Amino acid sequence: MGDIDHHLRGQVSEVQRLVIQLDQTINQVGLDVIRVGHEAEQTRSELAALRTDFYNYVRQAELAANVQRSETKIGVLQDQIQHEFGHYKTVRLTAVGMLQAFDIGLVSEDTVRTVGEQLMMQTPRYWLAPALVGLAAWAGDDRDLCGRAILEAFRRSPSKASLFMSLILRRQRRPDASVRWLRHYLAAQDPAKLGRDFAVILESIAHGAFGSAGVELMHETLDRWTERLLNDENVQVAQVNRWRAEIDAFASAPAAADFPHLRNLSPQWPELEAALSRAQVHEPLIRKYEAMMAEEIPPTDRLEDAIDDILDRLVREYDNEELPLRRELAFHRAVVEHGGDLAVSQATVASQRAYDSTLDYLTIQSESALNPTAIGVSRTTQRLAVAACHEWFQRAHAAFTRDYRMALPPIVDVVFGTSHTIGAKTFQLPQWVGRLNEPMGRLEHDLAEHWDRHGQPFVDSFAFPLSRKLLWPIVTVIGVLVLIGVCTQSAGLAVLAALIAGGIWAAVLFGQYQTAQKQQAQARAYVEQSKQESLRQLRAAGAELTDWGSRYQQADAREAGVRTMIGDLANSGKAASPYERRTVLSK
């Protein structure tokens, strides 16, 4: 009986030992799983970062390729323009050269005439060639030939020929004849469908090239046109939209890198980011336009030089056959300027109307202000055009400001989802949402509580279940006590045997308890570490929002500066239209 009991006890002990060992192994496996999960998440994050880097690299390579392609294309297009229209260049150079030759009387009339006739034959269909023949005939006092030649130039391009003649007559100090041509020119114009060459009128006004009589005529005409066009709301809206596109183009690049936590945690980040990048528009706007207004542009000393510059523009900039190539060239230049971003370049070129073959008067003003190179006007004209467009600038800017201010989120949340940290992902932490306008202390307390509440079951799972563990040893000890007591009829022996059995159990349980404590401490440390990481992110997001707020307010406060500056622009133009400016170079 004693042997059986001893054998049974041995078996039971062995089973218990195995159970305990299994228990410990399971707990260890639990912790190992968490550790492996942690490492897997870390690897996944690193992979995600690598993927982002790779995409960035691909994007950079794509942009660089775009720039390179456009640079090559610019060269090709310039060659093409030179190849297809290069022969016009000789005529253009000759036009101004011929006038200057008349001034100083160094070239014989025969030479002038020969050159004019040669160019007439070499450049068929070009309006300037017969105009040169006309000039040569004028110099040679051949009235009949002069008349026929000018008529042919007028037939080929009525507006350019009229402008050309008006400017030349003004240059030769024949104001009455000049104004007649100008009137002729204006009468044929539809203010809603002007040719691009009308920019020359603005240029001439800016330089006072038409003299007082011409300015008066322009004053009267442009006033009438403005009044007519302003009655059409669509025309006005188009101008405001054009200025709005100019303002939008100043929006700075997103500042996501400065606010990494806010970007990751706040669902309102896109609105915050958009508002900041738009609010930062005011300062560069002020810088650009103040610099433009402060710029000293030395006036030309002689009327002849001023008009020669304008004539040079007239003959160089406005030939519509070149427009498709010039438009393409503008696109590729925009690609280079925007670092290879095709979408932005397309949008930029699409918003520019300077390459349209016909434009309304107000659009010519706007384009002269915003895109002077494309429409071919000088800095002086640009300045006056900006002043003339101040109302649209003001309206576009006010609406731009209203829109981004209105889109500001009234409340900024932070969402700590299941994937905001590796710990949260490992423990499958339920989502927690906090509002950053509440005190940070309260938010930290709430988030910590959330972590404690949902991390505790995990920590508890490693606790040592004392009552459950004690049940079986107590039953065994009592069993041994009763069995030995009944079998041997000796209380002392029974107690001794029970103590030995209890002692073994106690030793085993104590070991088990210590292991469980250690594992629980490890689990608690994991949870605590993850909680601290979340709290750190919360504090960082709060700090970033404060930083965002001060940057936004500082940038937004410059809005009043832009309003004042636009008011100053209006005053610097002295009037709503540049034609009211004093005639600088009139005789």
Partner 1 sequence: MDSSFRRRVGQTGNLNVGHSDHQATTPSPLTRDLRRPRHAGLIEAVHRLDAEISQAARGDLARWIRDQYQTEVGDIPLGFVAKCHLGPPYVDHILDLFDNIVDHYAPADPMPEPFSKARMLVRTNAYAYIEIYGSGEIRPVYPDGTVVV
Judged by the rule CB under 8 A, the positions of this chain that interact with partner 1 are 230, 233, 236, 394-395, 398-399, 401-402, 405-408, 410, 437, 556, 559-560, 563
Its sign, for the CA torsion 332, 337, 339, 343, is negative
Shortest distance, CB of residue 29 to partner 1, whole angstroms?
48
Whole-angstrom Cα distance, residue 451 to residue 428?
A: 11
Please identify, using beta-carbon distances, which residue of 155 and 435 lies nearer to partner 1.
Answer: 435
Phi first, then psi: give them for residue 107, nearest 5 degrees.
Answer: -115, 140
* Residue whose C-alpha is closest to residue 440's, from 535, 529, 531, 533: 535
How far is CA 329 from its chain centroid? 23
Phi first, then psi: give them for residue 358, nearest 5 degrees.
Answer: -125, 145
Residue found by looking up tokens 């004028």 in the block: 138
Please identify, using beta-carbon distances, which residue of 480 and 566 lies nearer to partner 1.
Answer: 566
Please identify, using beta-carbon distances, which residue of 361 and 404 lies nearer to partner 1.
Answer: 404
DSSP string, 333-366: HHHHHTTT-HHHHHHHHHH--TTSSEE-HHHHHH
CB-based contacts of 191: which residues, under 8 Å, 6+ apart?
A: 225, 228, 229, 360, 361
CB-based contacts of 480: which residues, under 8 Å, 6+ apart?
A: 9, 494, 497, 498, 501
Please identify, using beta-carbon distances, which residue of 184 and 395 lies nearer to partner 1.
Answer: 395
Shortest distance, CB of residue 411 to partner 1, whole angstroms?
9
Shortest distance, CB of residue 32 to partner 1, whole angstroms?
47
Enumerate the β-bridge partners of residue 414. Answer: 434
Shortest distance, CB of residue 231 to partner 1, whole angstroms?
9
Give how far Cα 298 sits from Cα of 45, 56, 118, 207, 304, Å.
61, 47, 38, 11, 16
Tell me the three state secondary structure of residue 173.
Answer: coil
Shortest distance, CB of residue 437 to partner 1, whole angstroms?
8
Whole-angstrom Cα distance, residue 151 to residue 174?
A: 19
Shortest distance, CB of residue 42 to partner 1, whole angstroms?
41
Please identify, using beta-carbon distances, which residue of 458 and 552 lies nearer to partner 1.
Answer: 552
Enumerate the β-bridge partners of residue 195. Answer: 358
Enter the tokens of residue 547: 């930083």
Shortest distance, CB of residue 406 to partner 1, whole angstroms?
6
Tell me the three state secondary structure of residue 515.
Answer: helix
Please identify, using beta-carbon distances, which residue of 454 and 563 lies nearer to partner 1.
Answer: 563
Shortest distance, CB of residue 550 to partner 1, whole angstroms?
15
Please identify, using beta-carbon distances, which residue of 289 and 404 lies nearer to partner 1.
Answer: 404
Please identify, using beta-carbon distances, which residue of 28 and 437 lies nearer to partner 1.
Answer: 437
